[in-house]
């Protein structure tokens, strides 16, 4: 039984073997891009929105609202990143029902790549928002003793994200494959439906966790402020910022 599509080479380009994971990723990318282009090509204020445009607006604004609820910030760069994560993973997992199509998220390389992307994006967003000094200070919070634990925590986030996504998608595919051999008529359908549900949930969880990590890195850390008659307070800035 083949557990990853990385092992299937579809074609060779300039001596480099292009495996099924990459090809299926391109297919998903093409579907998302073409659909977006088709829906938004006649996007003018004088044209009333149709059902497709309304659907995309609902999806985009839903993602944006989730990000705002989590981070109490309105950053469109986070929207681009986390939204793309969600849409890519969700569509990949939904394509599980297409016969012969192996979702790219069923590859540990893909999930690792996405986890690495999050792992790299978190410090980049943090540095962009707080500056490199401000971001590095978060590693020694609350004291310098916590530096190794904070570093381990950062890496463990990426690894847990990768394993979580891969495990869930792959387990669904594996279970479906096993049940297809045991009870080929009834259980595969049920498992596929369940796989769609878990795929969407995984996409949601992955994007939410990425947003949480990015938000924790971009939230400014306040120094204790001593004011007459007030106790020093520590917390996050809840001001909503527009980063457009």
Q: Could you tell me the smallest distance in angstroms from the CB atom of residue 232 to other proteins?
A: 39
Q: Is 4 in the site for other proteins (CB under 8 A)?
A: yes
Q: Which residue, 110 or 138, is less far from other proteins as judged by CB?
A: 110
Among residues 67, 78, 90, 114, the one that binds other proteins under rule CB under 8 A: 114
169 in Cβ contact with 93 (< 8 Å): yes
Neighbours of 92 (CB within 10 A): 28
Q: Is 9 in the site for other proteins (CB under 8 A)?
A: no
Q: Is 109 in the site for other proteins (CB under 8 A)?
A: yes
Nearest to 202 by CA among 173, 179, 176: 173
Q: Could you tell me the smallest distance in angstroms from the CB atom of residue 66 to other proteins?
A: 14
Neighbours of 182 (CB within 10 A): 8
Extended beta strands in 80-143, E state: none
Q: Could you tell me the smallest distance in angstroms from the CB atom of residue 112 to other proteins?
A: 5
CA-CA distance, 121 to 79, in Å (whole number)? 13
Q: Which residue, 62 or 148, is less far from other proteins as judged by CB?
A: 62
Among residues 8, 72, 117, 216, the one that binds other proteins under rule CB under 8 A: 117
Instruction: Report the sign of the C-alpha dihedral through residues 193, 196, 197, 202, in that order.
Output: positive
Q: Which residue, 88 or 135, is less far from other proteins as judged by CB?
A: 88
105 in Cβ contact with 166 (< 8 Å): yes
How long, in residues, is the chain? 244
CA-CA distance, 137 to 153, in Å (whole number)? 15
Ranges within 14-33 binding other proteins (CB under 8 A)? 16, 19, 21-22, 25-26, 29, 32-33
Q: Which residue, 91 or 208, is less far from other proteins as judged by CB?
A: 91
H or E element at residue 48: none
Q: Is 178 in the site for other proteins (CB under 8 A)?
A: no
Structure tokens at 16: 């480099």
Interface residue list for other proteins (CB under 8 A): 3-4, 6, 16, 19, 21-22, 25-26, 29, 32-33, 36-37, 40, 43, 45, 49, 53, 56-57, 60-61, 76, 79-81, 83-84, 87-88, 104, 107-110, 112-114, 116-117
């Amino acid at each position: 039984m083949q557990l990853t599509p990385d092992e299937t080479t579809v074609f060779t380009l300039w001596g480099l073997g292009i495996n099924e994971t990459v090809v299926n990723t391109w297919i998903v990318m093409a579907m998302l891009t073409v659909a977006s282009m088709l829906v938004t090509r006649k996007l003018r204020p004088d044209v009333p929105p149709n059902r497709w445009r309304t659907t995309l607006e609902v999806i985009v604004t839903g993602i944006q609202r989730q990000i705002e609820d989590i981070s109490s910030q309105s950053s469109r760069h986070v929207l681009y990143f986390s939204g793309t994560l969600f849409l890519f993973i969700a569509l990949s997992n939904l394509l599980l029902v297409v016969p012969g199509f192996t979702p790219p998220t069923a590859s540990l390389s893909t999930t690792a790549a996405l986890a690495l992307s999050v792992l790299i994006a978190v410090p980049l967003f943090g540095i962009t928002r707080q500056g490199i000094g401000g971001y590095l200070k978060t590693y020694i919070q609350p004291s310098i003793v916590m530096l190794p634990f904070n570093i381990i925590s950062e890496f463990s986030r990426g690894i847990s994200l990768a394993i979580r996504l891969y495990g869930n998608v792959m387990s669904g595919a594996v279970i479906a494959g096993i049940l297809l051999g045991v009870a080929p008529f009834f259980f595969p359908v049920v498992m596929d439906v369940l796989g769609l549900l878990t795929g969407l949930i995984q996409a949601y969880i992955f994007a939410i966790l990425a947003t949480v990590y990015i938000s924790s890195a971009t939230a400014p850390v306040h120094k204790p402020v001593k004011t007459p008659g007030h106790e020093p307070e520590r917390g996050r800035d809840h001001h909503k910022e527009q980063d457009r």
